[in-house]
Amino acid sequence: MQDEKLLKEVTAKAMQWLGEGYDAETRAQVQAMLDNDDKTELIESFYRDLEFGTGGLRGIMGAGSNRMNIYTVGGATQGLANYLKENFKDLDQIKVIVGHDVRNNSRLFAETVANIFSANGIKVYLFEGPRPTPEVSYAIRLLGCQSGVNITASHNPKEYNGYKAYWDDGAQVVSPHDVNIINHVNRIHDVSEIKFEGNPDLIEIIGEEIDNQYIEQIHTLSLSPDIDKRQHDLKIVYTPIHGVGRDIIPRSLRRWGFDNIIHIPEQDVMTGEFPTVGGSPNPELLPTMRMAIEKAEEVQADVAMASDPDADRIAVVIKNTKGKYDLLNGNQIQIIFHYYLMARNEELGLLKGDEYIVKTIVTSELIAKIARAKGIKMYDCFTGFKWIATVMRENEGKGRYLGGGEESYGFLPETFARDKDSVSSIPLMAEIAAWAKDRGMTMNDMLIDVYKTYGYSKERGISVVRPGKSGAEEIVAMMKNFRENPQKEIAGSPVVLIKDFQLLEQKDLVKDEVTKLEMPATSNVLQYFTADGTKVSIRPSGTEPKIKFYIEVHDKLEDAEGYNAKNDWADAKIDQICRDLGIA
């Protein structure tokens, strides 16, 4: 009965998409779904409206209310335009930035967005071609805009696209604007309410001049320019994985003084098909990084790096103690960045006592230990760079930001952009490799030294994918079960603390007391902490059909010779934790 009711509802909704307000191609696609005996695609395309969440839109491209297309993008933009006109009604001219990545339909969606904004009397600066996500954030601040939109689905599979909305500080929208924008988007009930016919006089094309200023700003971040010059021939393998970093990141590296940049020609082709990685350009995954690792081995690189398709994330490959090349996990990348920025500022006598760093709650606790040892304040925030940007905004004029990042390969070393940035992070990581080499060390030696000094940690992220309507329901059920039936023991160690960021409370199981968590909002994240220092975080993804588990184990590392054995121990322990959680 439920299936019959759902089919009736989606059929009625789909029939509306056969009206004259929709283009012929869309109508044909919808009609084909209606005519198909298998109604799976029809249901998946129409069982809900693609939700405009606190970060914007992300979904599979295609016809339908639950898909990325010019109509769902149009509704989001009309709602955002309506809110901008309400919020900034005293301005003579509201201004926005519009950018996009290399994905299929990204240019179409970006031009659609630009047309709708301009039709609503809003001045649009439209990038001439694909640009990094962080450059969109930078341009908003540079040009004094009130908002911005970037069309990107980051590292999602090729079938996806997305829509990221930014505010006047260059950060993704947060409260109260996020909820207010969502309310305005939800008020768009009919395609006739969307102003698709643009005003060319209000659309200005931008590009090279912004690129040049951006690269020059990034170069001001260098802490070791003399070392960069000495190590100018550092062997650096770089791949954009078919994305927007192809031209601008090598330019950024050369501006820092690095001139031995080794490319992977097949992956320098900018295309939304992402052919060399099977259509899934996620640099966190070994298959995606296979060609970078092979190239690093071939040339015996000092470091190999990648940016994801919209060039906000960074992946790093280094040689291990056995002479093989390893893909660092996101926590190791964060540890290296934060350690270098704190240690190098200390070396240069730049620490004045007002410095701070930021990490997310699912990122390694080792970073907190390093910060405490250096006397540097550290902020923990929710996953997502809008929360890191919120900390930055709250500390403007009060403290000096050194860096902030999250375990999902995102880092931001600057304040002139407010989203994770591989265009600045990649030359900074090259500088770290040069700094280590200048001391007769490899990157791996440096990481081991950090573990010896501050304690060993190893982390692993596991994603359990559950696509579609039934998958979404299963993810809800899994989170409910972990809350209502919490783990009492993990890998033989008792759970001593549970943090529930949806309820904003933590339970100390040793003291048998419950206290409030001080956070700016709620988030569907659950964390277990055990007596031996293990941390397990569980959260549904906000952008993909998956539930994520973040596992972190700790121990001491007495000497470099014991590093490989300690890694083996940690892998075995994490395997046991996965079995205990039922995700092995």
pLDDT digits (tens, 9 = 90+) for 239-278: 999 999 999 999 999 999 999 999 999 999 999 999 999 9
Q: Are residues 235 and 114 in the same domain?
A: no
Q: Are residues 89 and 161 in the same domain?
A: yes
423: tokens are 């265009």
Give the CA angle between residues 561, 566, 569 to the nearest 5°: 150
**Catalytic annotation, pick one of 45, 65, 154, 424:** 154
Give the start-end residues of each E strand in 37-118.
Answer: 56-60, 95-100
Report the C-alpha gap between 310 and 371 in whole angstroms.
30
229: tokens are 């010059």
Q: Are residues 22 and 58 in the same domain?
A: no
Q: Are residues 514 and 468 in the same domain?
A: yes
**Under a CB-based contact definition with an 8 Å cutoff, are residues 546 and 466 in contact?**
yes
Chain position carrying tokens 């001491």 = 556
Domain finish residue from 185, 206, 227: 206
Q: Mind giving me the DSSP string for 214-258?
A: HHHHHHTT-S-HHHHHHTTT--EEEE-TTSTHHHHHHHHHHHTT-
157: tokens are 């599979």
Distances (CA, A) of 234 to 304, 423, 425, 432: 11, 18, 16, 11
Q: Are residues 450 and 485 in the same domain?
A: no
CATH of the domain at 509: 3.30.310
- Among positive and negative, which fits the CA dihedral 239, 236, 407, 558? positive
- Among positive and negative, which fits the CA dihedral 384, 308, 541, 544? positive
Report the C-alpha gap between 552 and 126 in whole angstroms.
42
For the chain, which ranges sit under pLDDT 50?
1
Q: Are residues 263 and 391 in the same domain?
A: yes
Domain finish residue from 423, 454, 485: 454
Give the CA angle between residues 479, 467, 311 to the nearest 5°: 95
Report the C-alpha gap between 502 and 522 in whole angstroms.
5
CATH of the domain at 436: 3.40.120.10
The model's pTM:
0.95
Closest C-alpha to 142, from 95, 76, 177, 175: 95
The whole-number pLDDT of residue 469 equals: 77
346: tokens are 């200390």
Report the C-alpha gap between 308 and 145 in whole angstroms.
26
Give the start-end residues of each E strand in 168-231.
Answer: 203-206
Closest C-alpha to 419, from 170, 110, 249: 170
Q: Are residues 322 and 348 in the same domain?
A: yes
The whole-number pLDDT of residue 543 equals: 67
AA letter at 313: R
The whole-number pLDDT of residue 1 equals: 43
Question: 181 in helix, strand or coil?
Answer: helix
Report the C-alpha gap between 533 and 302 in whole angstroms.
33
DSSP state of 49: P
- Among positive and negative, which fits the CA dihedral 151, 537, 176, 51? positive
Q: Which residues pair with 175 in a beta bridge?
A: none
538: tokens are 């569980």
**Under a CB-based contact definition with an 8 Å cutoff, are residues 528 and 487 in contact?**
yes
Q: Are residues 269 and 411 in the same domain?
A: yes
Q: Are residues 293 and 158 in the same domain?
A: no
**Under a CB-based contact definition with an 8 Å cutoff, are residues 206 and 126 in contact?**
yes
Q: Are residues 441 and 490 in the same domain?
A: no
Chain position carrying tokens 């004045």 = 352
Closest C-alpha to 548, from 538, 558, 556: 538
DSSP state of 562: G
Q: How many CB atoms lie within 10 A of CB 149?
A: 28
HSE, CB side, 13 Å, CA atoms: give it for residue 558: 3
Is 45 catalytic? The answer is: no
Report the C-alpha gap between 240 and 290 in whole angstroms.
13
pLDDT digits (tens, 9 = 90+) for 279-325: 999 999 999 999 999 999 999 999 999 999 999 999 999 999 999 99
Q: Are residues 174 and 86 in the same domain?
A: yes
Chain position carrying tokens 């799976």 = 40
Host domain of residue 27: 1-47
Give the CA angle between residues 251, 252, 256 to the nearest 5°: 115
Number of domains in the chain: 4
The 8 Å CB, 24+ separation contacts for 369-375 are 369/454, 369/455, 370/335, 370/338, 370/339, 370/342, 370/450, 370/454, 371/338, 371/342, 373/454, 374/342, 374/343, 374/346, 375/351
**Under a CB-based contact definition with an 8 Å cutoff, are residues 356 and 378 in contact?**
yes
Q: Which residues contact 174 (CB under 8 A, 6 or more apart)?
A: 54, 167, 386, 387, 389, 390, 520
Report the C-alpha gap between 203 and 194 in whole angstroms.
18
Report the C-alpha gap between 261 and 234 in whole angstroms.
8
User: For the chain, what is the radius of gyration of the CA atoms?
Assistant: 24
Q: Are residues 283 and 382 in the same domain?
A: yes
Domain finish residue from 454, 475, 507: 454
